[in-house]
Amino acid sequence: VRPEPAAPPSPAAAKRPRAPSRERTIGTKVAGQPAFVLHSYPYKETSLIIDLFTRDFGRVALIAKGAKRPHSQLRGVLQTFQPLSSGWVGKSELRTLTDAEWVGGMLPLEKTALLCGFYLNELLVKLLARDDAHPALFDHYVATLNELAHGEPPTIVLRKFERALLRETGVAAELTRCTETRSRVLPQVLYVVDPERGPRPQRAADAWPGVAGKTLLDMEREDYQDAATQSQSKQLMRFLLAYHLGGAPLNTRQILIDLAQI
């Protein structure tokens, strides 16, 4: 397969609005916060550092003290894709987990859906600034996990989430208007999408992926029933995410590409 041309790397953080002040989270005791574990890794002999995606505080880093001990109550709770009620305290950017309880109510992810879940988590870790709240994106994440667990087509489910992620982080261009003329995108015209500005008509010398206007309009409506829309939106989102990630690879995506799922 011929490799897709990549845009010049540009880190997403440089284009996102500056994260709000962390005064309301750092030094504050938080309890009963809806959350999901995105990632965890060992810390010292018995503890973990966890990356938690929370509804009202965004992505936070916490020390889970003693979580690796055999009889720790946290050991079986701090698992990915399990809805949690969490709490923490601390005055630094790395705070201390004080409570985590399994809430339940969601089906487990299995097989390809599980890999897709790890793909979502990797996107969130790499594209979300810490302590930057995105409650709408949190709700979309929950809905996406539920759709994957219930066997919805990954190609459609993931496209919707990718678009929502770029929109919530402030880097998603409007897809229904041509950036050069501000006229409405026409279904029969071929466009390229400038990651910084949005769609414009495709030129002969363009290396960026060409996309039919119909695909752009379908994406804005979240209508992915058309096979051409599915195929072109996949190429477009792969291109845009590569740009906003500044060239950083997505390990889980490569696995899913190998399985021909996204």
> 111-163: per-residue pLDDT in tens?
999 999 999 999 999 999 999 999 999 999 999 999 999 999 999 999 999 99
The answer to whether residue 6 is domain-embedded is: no
Confidence of residue 33 (pLDDT cuts 50, 70, 90): very high
CATH of the domain at 192: 1.20.1440.120
Structurally, the chain folds into a number of domains equal to: 2
pLDDT-derived band of residue 249, with 50, 70 and 90 as boundaries? confident
- pLDDT(176) > 90: yes
Phi, psi for 38 (deg, rounded to 5): -90, -40
Same domain, yes or no, for 195 and 132? no
Boundary residue ending a domain (133, 151, 167): 167
Strands, DSSP E only, in the chain?
30-43, 47-54, 58-64, 84-89, 94-102, 190-194, 198-201, 211-212
User: Does residue 5 form part of some domain?
Assistant: no
pLDDT tier, 218 (very low <50, low <70, confident <90, very high otherwise)? very high
Give percent of the chain with pLDDT exceeding 90: 73
- Let me know whether 161 and 197 are in one domain: no
**Residue 3 pLDDT class (50, 70, 90 cuts):** very low
Domain membership of residue 74 as a residue range: 29-167
Q: Report the C-alpha gap between 206 and 111 in whole angstroms.
A: 38
Are residues 149 and 182 located together in one domain of the fold?
no
pTM of the model: 0.84
pLDDT exceeds 60 at position 37: yes
Residue type, 198: G
Q: Specify whether 159 is located in the same domain as 212.
A: no
Task: Say if 24 falls within a structural domain.
Answer: no
Q: Is 9 inside a domain boundary?
A: no
Same domain, 43 and 142: yes
The pLDDT assigned to 142 comes to 98
223 located within any domain: yes
